[in-house]
Amino acid sequence: MTNSTPLALFVGVSGYELTADEIAYLREANPYGLFLFRRNLDHSDQARRLCAEFRDVVGRPDAPVFVDQEGGRVQRLDNGNWPSFRSMGSFGALAKRDLALAKRALRLSTQAMGALMTELTIDSGTTPVVDLARSGTHDVIGQRAFGDDPERVVTLAREVIDGMLEVGALPIMKHIPGYGRVTVDPHFDCPVVDAGLDDLRATDFQPFVALKDCPWAMVAHLVFTQIDPDRAASVSPAVYELIRKDIGYDGVLITDCLSMEALQGTPAERVAAALAAGCDIALLTQGGLEASISAADGARPLTGQTLERITRASRKRGNLRVDVTALHAEVEGIFRESGLA
């Protein structure tokens, strides 16, 4: 029997349309949301059909569909059928020359990217990245971030958060409480950060504190030895307590993808650990249908508190309509004139 309350889980699917086995799984398990990748995105009509098919199968017309669409090297709508958007690092570079111009260009780019997703019936591009990118930060962050200055990062990330909401898309800031000190890629290894809490509060945590009104946030996979030396942030009760109480964040918390090698255990064990630690929703999208079935075994239905946070987030979404092509062209013109094209 299908769960009446959705599981606190996002999953992935294999291709441009649902297979019979995926339909059976989604109907039975009822995961809250779907996360898309390049393997799922061919052209606009196909993307809309896939989103509609997922929502029809789970029986929820408002079931959320997310994708990684930050701009730069992390944008899944990149096969030539959609505009190519600039990285956050490029706006950070422009901001060093002219902050006001960078804010304007970023707001326009964000509105265009958000509007593109709403046209495709995708709810979020899981952006902005508000990690502080230092000289020694691993390239897994790199140009995905605005830079190393907390104040500038907050100023620019605010443009993304507000711009996304204006056009009806959900901003998701990541990766709380901060990937800025990682020196290894969490896709393949578990980063370890030894910095003290006072240092972290003065630097890496600052953007998340300043932007704590962002309706969703994605939790990082790394060990902060001064908070919890034994568990990665995404499965650590101590880190979730810090996020909720110290940082003061009361929006929806979703994990980064739990299939990353930074974590150990079966999909079910990883999902169960994240939810037990204090996360609202687990995200596990790799490993095929077998992994999704296991993930569902470790998940629980959305709690009442999580549903309240989701509702509160949804109320912030606007309905501004913009011309995606025109805004994108204007942004490209700004970069050409600035000499940073």
Contact 255, 234 (CB under 8 A): yes
**Catalytic residue chosen out of the listed positions 204, 256, 280, 328:** 256
**In angstroms, rounded to a whole number, what is the distance separating the alpha carbons of residues 187 and 176?**
16
Largest CA distance in the chain: 60
**Catalytic residue chosen out of the listed positions 187, 199, 250, 297:** 187
**In angstroms, rounded to a whole number, what is the distance separating the alpha carbons of residues 79 and 81?**
6
Q: How close are the terminal C-alpha atoms of the chain, in Å?
A: 55
**In angstroms, rounded to a whole number, what is the distance separating the alpha carbons of residues 23 and 174?**
30
**In angstroms, rounded to a whole number, what is the distance separating the alpha carbons of residues 319 and 321?**
6
Pairing of strands 216-219, 252-255: parallel
Task: Look at phi and psi of residue 66 and say left if phi exceeds 0, alpha if psi is from -120 to 50, else beta.
Answer: beta
Q: What is the three-class DSSP state of 152?
A: helix
Q: What is the three-class DSSP state of 36?
A: strand
Q: Would you say how long the chain is, in residues? A: 341
Contact 10, 33 (CB under 8 A): yes
Pick the closest to residue 264 from 237, 292, 230 (CA basis): 230
Whether 256 is catalytic is yes
**In angstroms, rounded to a whole number, what is the distance separating the alpha carbons of residues 180 and 149?**
11
Measured at the CA of 74, the angle between CA 260 and CA 176, to 5 degrees, comes to: 55
Q: What residues are annotated to the active site?
A: 187, 256
